[in-house]
Amino acid sequence: MLLTYFFIDRAIGEVYGTRKDASPLLDYYTASDLGLSEELFDFVSDGRKIFGSRYYKEGLPAPKALVCFFHGLGGGRSSYLHLISKIVEEGYLVYAFDNTGSNQSEGSSIIGLGHYYLDLKAFFAFLDKDPKAQGLKRFGIGHSWGGYAAMLSLDPAFKVERAVSMAGFVSPLLEIIAMAHNPYLAKMAFLIKAVLKRREGEYGNVNALDIAIKSHKPLLYIQGKADDTVTYESSGRYVEEASKEHPEIETMFIEGRNHSCYLVDEAERKTGELWKVSRNIKMAGKIDTDLPFVSKEDPEVLKRVFDFFAR
């Protein structure tokens, strides 16, 4: 048992004890590429400086609301700029930041999946005092790890009125078990919990769905039924079951769609291929990213999100 504990602790340390930056082999949009205006901001989370941006478009009417965008693992806010531009064009002011140990932000590692909660606490403390955020309703949206954060953002202390989780996992524990692809680890869940608590304290394994349910605030959960990163069995089914008892929780499951559930099928497949190739950091030169092709959002998903925000 003790050996298993140390094995789990070492494995978690190896996975999450490093930085998770966007791949240097891929191209990414800039704000100016998409006609966005960008204002930088920063705040301190757990002693580390976190950097983010406000995104808006000149000439648009006053924003309908403020949308907090939360990025996934291994990317950053720049990885989602095309989607952010769609949100801005719909009439929202968007705030997005790079997590601890990600892209522009400080930190030798992301520390763990649960550390997002600490970054959220620091971000919303900053937002409460930011003059440009005052008087605006707050919405949350995120993908993958950011989808987890979107559910966490429904914590009443953060004053987010509604949130969209795209392929978000329910808890670090469930995601770690799912990604390990090892049935033995499922039986050792109590040891994983112990490791997470030792490494990150009370935030090591927060169940974001529980927070969403207790908040009684609207949540829209979107997932591809073929998602092999955050699987339906490890997360989606729990949200679907909760939606049957809690009418404020809505779901949208897309048959055949994988992890980037907000993209059309062909773009989503290409994104998956690029992500696998881009992990080969020894590869020389850039990979042909074909940004316009891999950034095609599913219009039905966008409509569902914007209809949800507009209520």
Buried/exposed code over 240-268 (b: 16+ C-beta within 10 A; e: otherwise): eebbeebebbbbbbbeebbbbbbbbeebb
pLDDT in tens, 13-39: 998 999 999 888 889 999 999 999 999
pLDDT digits (tens, 9 = 90+) for 80-98: 999 999 999 999 999 999 9
188-192, 203-207, 236-240, 264-268: segment of lowest average pLDDT: 188-192
Main-chain phi, psi angles of 97, to 5 degrees: -135, 160
Tokens, residue 212: 């969403």
pLDDT of residue 209: 98
pLDDT over threshold 60, residue 282: no
pLDDT of residue 273: 87
Q: Where are the domains of the chain?
A: 25-181+206-310
* Predicted local confidence at residue 37, as pLDDT: 98
- Is the pLDDT reported for residue 285 higher than 70? no
Q: CA 133: distance to chain centroid?
A: 21
Per cent of the chain over pLDDT 70 is 98
- Which residue from 291, 299, 304, 144 is spatially nearest to 227, judged by alpha carbons? 144
Q: How many angstroms from the chain centroid is the CA of residue 60?
A: 27
The crossing angle, in degrees rounded to 10, of helices 189-200 and 172-180 is 120
E strands in the chain: 37-45, 48-56, 66-70, 93-97, 138-143, 162-166, 219-224, 249-254
Region 295-307: what's the mean pLDDT?
98
Out of 3.20.20.70, 3.40.50.1820, 1.10.150.50, 3.90.1660.10, the CATH code matching 25-181+206-310 is 3.40.50.1820
| Residue 216: C-alpha distances to residues 94, 112, 204, 244, 287 (Å) | 24, 27, 24, 14, 45
Q: Which pLDDT does position 29 carry in this prediction?
A: 96
pLDDT score recorded for residue 284: 54
Q: DSSP letter at 17?
A: S
Window from 75-79, 142-146, 154-158, 207-211 with minimum mean pLDDT: 75-79
